[in-house]
A and B are shown apart, each in its own frame.
Chain A
Amino acid sequence: MNRLRGDSVGLIMLSAGRRIAIASILVAALWALFFWATSTPGGL
């Protein structure tokens, strides 16, 4: 833990709303991948 530096330009400086916005983008990408993987026909 003593190696962990401050995060002056990172996630910790963002408001919770902005972090949730970033999380929403990642979640949207994950579910887009879900629909691609489960709906595209082909193979087994």
Chain B
Amino acid sequence: MWELLFQPFVDFGFMRRALLGCVAVSVGATPLGVFLMLRRMSLTGDAMAHAILPGAAVGYLVSGLSLGAMTIGGLIAGMAVALLSGYVTRMTSLREDASLAAFYLISLALGVLIISTRGSNVDLMHVLFGSVLALDNAALTLLCVIASLSLFMLALFFRPLVLECADSQFLRSVSRLSAVSHFIFLTLVVMNLVGGFHALGTLMAVGIMILPAAAASFWTTRISGLIALAAAIALLASYSGLLLSYHYSLPTGPAIILVAGAFYLVSVVFGIQGGIVQQTRTVSAVEI
């Protein structure tokens, strides 16, 4: 049992680094995923994950696979798409989901075009699917700094963020923190996605944010419980995914996300807060 569950992390430095990277992404990004889900912005996270691609691609063009350049490029691109789509929504009759979809699709196409014309397919695969088993000290430091910052900012702005989810009109009427907390929230989402793309890639980074949050929502309706359970599911999925990847030679990012997906599917069926089994029992009880 020891050899199956713990030996890979004792024996191999790259497994410990991968575990740390996943833990950092789990504790930093998953609480944000809960707020994204509660705000009905789950697909916004997905769109933002794709939107950072051209910035990372330009960073790559300027200085190769440089962590700093790709991170700064990704941050700028992500924030630009968020702000531009918000601007178009306010200034035109287009709704926010449509304008965000338009900008992220343009952004994604631009990113793939830049990487494909100037890089190789290997580079494109690295950006799209990450390289969690090859995280160096700089990447791990970045992930831990982003996770630490996220935790502190969430602790500081927890009440405005919860109120924004529950009743944004009320928050706007009683506090000036509404716009501030919304901007900080979006910044944290982009930062975590940029951090996450180093580990899991742009396509998978949002998975560790949304899937645990969606799974947790089938077990509790208290926000503290949601955050704690979502983080626990993300950690368990990361650990199990790494072990599955190690023992069966599977690609690591997809293995982690698929385990999180398995947690989600089990929760959909057996969850005590609106799961299929519980809903069926309720309907049967009403019919009797």
Question: Chain A interface (Cβ within 8 Å of chain B)?
Answer: 1, 3-7, 9-12, 16, 19-20, 22-24, 26-27, 30-31, 33-34, 36-38, 40-44
Question: Chain B interface (Cβ within 8 Å of chain A)?
Answer: 10-17, 19-20, 23-24, 27, 38-40, 137, 140-141, 144, 147-148, 151-152, 154-156, 158-159, 162, 165-166, 217, 221-225, 227, 273-274
**A4→B213 CA distance, assembly (Å):** 13
Contacts of A9 in B (CB 8 A): 224
Contacts of A19 in B (CB 8 A): 155-156, 158
Q: How far is the CB of A27 from chain B (nearest CB, A)?
A: 4
Contacts of A5 in B (CB 8 A): 221-222
Cβ 8 A contact of A37, one of B17, B38, B147, B151 = B17
Contacts of B12 in A (CB 8 A): 42-44
Contacts of A40 in B (CB 8 A): 13, 16
Q: List 27 A-B contacts (CB under 8 A).
A: A1-B38, A1-B39, A4-B221, A5-B222, A7-B162, A7-B223, A7-B224, A10-B225, A11-B224, A11-B227, A12-B223, A20-B152, A23-B151, A23-B154, A27-B148, A27-B152, A30-B147, A34-B140, A37-B13, A37-B16, A37-B140, A40-B13, A40-B16, A42-B10, A42-B11, A43-B14, A44-B12
Interface of B (DSSP majority class): helix
A-B pair number, CB within 8 angstroms = 98
Interface of A (DSSP majority class): helix
Cross-chain contact A4 with B38 (CB below 8 angstroms): yes
Closest to B227 in A: A11
Cβ 8 A contact of A36, one of B16, B217, B222, B273 = B16
